[in-house]
């Protein structure tokens, strides 16, 4: 059993309220859960309007599959949000 995790940091310069940020985060998390069947959570910077930190975890039978899922999640986020990707921290166990 292999566990793939990634912490993704996004910067959304157009966000001016926590309510607006919450809508974006909920949308991204729901799309990721539906598309990839993974665990997703907003991790840090919850009181900062323009910074979004999302953590993703998946459990697979092989390390290459876990890495592939994580890479696909990162690409999906880049393709489906206008926020700038500012940080990615991957880990496979």
Which secondary-structure segment (H or E) carries 87?
Answer: strand 84-92
pLDDT digits (tens, 9 = 90+) for 53-68: 999 999 999 889 999 9
Q: Give me the number of domains the chain comprises.
A: 1
Over residues 13-19, the mean pLDDT reads 89
pLDDT digits (tens, 9 = 90+) for 70-90: 999 999 999 988 888 999 999
**What is the span of the domain harbouring residue 27?**
2-92
Strand partners, 28: none
CATH number at 60 reads: 3.30.70.1120
* Nearby residues of 47 by Cβ (< 8 Å), 6 or more positions away: 18
Report residue 66 as tokens: 């876990």
């Amino acid at each position: 059993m292999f566990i793939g995790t990634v912490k993704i940091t996004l910067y959304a310069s157009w966000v001016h309220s926590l309510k607006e940020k919450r809508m974006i985060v909920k949308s991204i998390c729901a799309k990721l859960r539906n598309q990839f069947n993974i665990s997703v959570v907003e991790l840090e910077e919850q009181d900062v309007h323009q910074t979004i930190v999302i953590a993703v975890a998946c459990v697979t039978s092989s390390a290459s599959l876990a890495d592939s899922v994580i890479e696909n999640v990162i690409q999906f986020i880049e393709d489906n949000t206008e926020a700038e990707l500012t940080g990615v921290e991957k880990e496979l166990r």
